[in-house]
Amino acid sequence: MDQKQLTQTISIFATLTVIGILMIVAPYRIEVLEPEMLTALQNSLPLVGSAMLGAGLVFFLLEMTRMGREKSI
């Protein structure tokens, strides 16, 4: 396993995870004057954040599997 690839993979995973968590939590922590906007944010951002979190996990697992196969060859 190349150390640079491993560091890059972990960095991308951590970034996607943090962004996903922030998108899930943010709509419930911010103050918005318009109730319609607050409802729209609370309905949409957690879904996008969950997708980002899932994408980060899938990316990490695929990269670890790929690196493991390259190492064994």
pLDDT band for position 1 (50/70/90)? low
Q: CA 32, CA 17: separation in Å to the nearest integer? A: 25
Q: Say what the pLDDT of residue 66 is.
A: 94
Q: Say what the pLDDT of residue 43 is.
A: 94
Q: CA 66, CA 35: separation in Å to the nearest integer? A: 46
Q: DSSP 3-state assignment of 73?
A: coil
- pTM for the complete prediction? 0.85
